[in-house]
Chains A and B, each alone.
Chain A
């Protein structure tokens, strides 16, 4: 059974179960009182290798949201997007030059609400290895791959807490080869792992 079939089966089976998920970032009206929920989508592109990997980007220090963080390619839904899948494919094309025709869509995972007001739908897809990516220089500083099994391993998913504006906040963090994946991206990875885990 191929990676595509395997993931499709695992996600399909996972959607019929009810794992305990991280519901979303805590809502903090004092932070952004006029925040409206904005639908967004990211592409969890799994590279079909013997040891499958996931495409991640390091965002530039100059973008307005999540600057300098590690994220999946993605962004808000545009009026022209039919749905989250279309938005994720368009954003991946724009941000890393991934042609949408190369993506075999597996399905959508669990939506996640970020503290910055986005309701993010992770779209899972499989892509062939060694595509030539082109980073959109204003948004993407680097593109790299991390092994899927490494990211999904609970032992690598650490809960951190910090005091921030007088509140104690908890978030997930995954360190991969010195790269720090945290916040909404880490939480979506944790949730994806829990969703697929039950299909093991």
Chain B
């Protein structure tokens, strides 16, 4: 919400425009705030990225975006919503963001992978924002590092798009480059 209007999808944007939008995103300096801990927010981010407060979903995208601005990962792995004077726990079922759309440009080592998150934010995968594929009992769980310990779960359809790109490219091991970094997808799952 507090930024240039978010385009509805990635299709009409070049990678350069997406990267610029991602860089221009102004976020509050949550890492520098050290407020007292005030309890639980009664907020929960479900696996599909839906935010709940006291059990009811928050439908307004602008509010979700506002809350996501002040989300912080704590050293103990927990998540909090933080302002300069207050800090409240928030439950996160899987990852706090979901990557819902992909745009790929270039190929091989020259490829860039841009993602749109459920909050409307843009992230280009690269050395500072790696993709990783965790093998679990129920198959690979793909994640994109968004910022400071906050990940996006890569949505199923987006993951299949990545897998198709990787299969078509046929790298050994299986994987994709983005912004100069290689991300292996073969997790033995």
- Interface centre among B5, B69, B70, B88, by most chain A C-beta atoms within 10 angstroms, is B70
Q: Is A200's CB under 8 angstroms from B83's CB?
A: no
A1/B28 contact (C-beta < 8 A), A6-B2, A50-B82, A149-B53 known: yes
Q: Which of B50-102 contact A (CB under 8 A)?
A: 53, 56, 58-63, 65-67, 69-70, 80-83, 85-88
Q: Contact check: which of A51, A128, A154 meets B59 at CB < 8 Å?
A: A154
Given A1-B69, A154-B59, do A50 and B86 touch, yes or no (CB 8 Å)? yes
B27 within 8 A of A: yes
Partner of A51 from the list B3, B27, B88 (CB cut-off 8 Å) is: B88
The interface residues of chain B, by DSSP majority, are classed as mixed
Query: Once the chains bind, are B28 and A2 in contact (CB under 8 Å)?
Result: yes
Asked whether any CB of chain A lies closer than 8 Å to the CB of B41, the reply is yes
Give complex CA distance A15, B155 in Å: 35
Contact of B1 with A by CB under 8 A: yes
Total count of chain B residues near the partner, CB < 8 A: 31
- Chain A residues with CB under 8 A of B66: 3, 6, 52
Residues of A within 8 Å of B85, CB to CB, are: 48, 128-129
Nearest B residue (CB) for A10:
B1
Chain B contacts of A86 at CB under 8 A?
Answer: none
Task: Output the residue of B1, B26, B58, B63 with the most chain A CB within 10 A.
Answer: B63
A52 to B53, CA, bound (A): 12
Cα A155 to Cα B57 with chains together (Å): 10
How far is A57 from B62 in the complex, measured between Cα atoms in Å? 26
Q: How far in angstroms is the closest Cβ of chain B from A196?
A: 7
> In the assembled complex, which residues on chain A have CB atoms less than 8 Å from the CB atom of B82?
50
B63, A50: Cβ atoms closer than 8 Å: no
Chain B residues close to A by CB (< 8 Å)? 1-3, 5, 26-28, 38, 41, 43, 53, 56, 58-63, 65-67, 69-70, 80-83, 85-88
The 3 A-B residue pairs with the shortest CB-CB distance, nearest first, are A200-B62, A50-B81, A1-B2
